[in-house]
Amino acid sequence: MRSYIAAALQMTSKPSLTDNLLHAEELIDLAVRQGAELVCLPENFAFMGLEEEKLAQASTIAQSTEQFLKTMAQRYQVMVLGGGFPVPVAGDKVHNTAMLVASNGEVVNQYNKVHLFDVDLPDENTYCESRTVQAGQDLPTIYASDLLGNLGVSVCYDVRFPELYRHLAKLGADVLCVPAAFTAFTGKDHWQVLLQARAIENTCYVIAPAQTGNHYGRRFTHGHAMIIDPWGTIVADAGVEPGVAIAEISPTTLEQVRRQMPCLQHRVF
């Protein structure tokens, strides 16, 4: 692993696949022009609309999105993480799939979200992801890159389950990716502190691309795509507008924090 620049993209994705991918390409281009070698897109970057519309278009979204990720990775010669998009499975449901694509266009890591967001919030919004999404059955794995370090992938609601990230840390993760579409209501209280906790307890970098603003109807997300270092310091924050959070991933910082705070070596359980 060597030092490199990573980017966490922030979008306000809508129910238009074409418009979303055009905007994603603009942000990828912006990130690469700032030196990014790892570019991470948020959950639902390709489509964010009504669940019925998502299911009706799932095959098209899946095919177009996978091809888009491969094209972007090859065109810009970077690693690209597509942070969660619908992929049809048997029956009438989809997986919420995150896909990591290398600069040669090869899919090197794929993860189906295991924790589904079924909650009733005090702001009177109800979410039932399991109505249209089939939970993944396998824990995420890491992708070991000589240049970019060991990358672990998760999706959004996973961030509330620390055991998943300890699993990735035990596999040797250096960087934890948490692409999300965090609700505006929960995000204001929980987003930052959860990301910092995952970074601190596992002494890893955290890269968290995000959705922001109003997508359709009453669907609002929190924003604040960010990159956090292994000490828990926020080194980049995109705020609340679409854009890019960009920062250096430093193996020197990683080694220093792990030397000073060797939590992973002190585990009892």
**Exposed e or buried b per residue across 94-120, where buried means at least 16 C-beta atoms within 10 angstroms of its C-beta:** bbbbbbbbbbeeeeebbbbbbbbbeee
Query: CA dist 201 to 65, 178, 240, 264, Å?
Result: 33, 15, 27, 8
Burial, 192: exposed, middle or buried (Cβ in 10 Å; 0-12, 13-18, 19+)?
Answer: middle
Q: Is 91 left (phi over 0), alpha (psi -120 to 50) or beta?
A: left
* Count of C-beta atoms within a 10 Å radius of residue 33: 10
**Which residues have a catalytic role annotated?**
43, 113, 156
CA distance 143 to 108: 7
Using CB atoms within 10 A of its CB, is residue 122 exposed (0-12), middle (13-18) or buried (19+)? exposed
- Pick from 205, 219, 214, 207: nearest CA to 240: 214
What are the CA-CA distances from residue 243 to residues 26, 41, 66, 209 (Å)? 10, 11, 22, 10
Which tokens sit at 199? 């970074």
**Alpha-carbon distance 190 to 211, whole Å?**
15
Length of the chain: 269
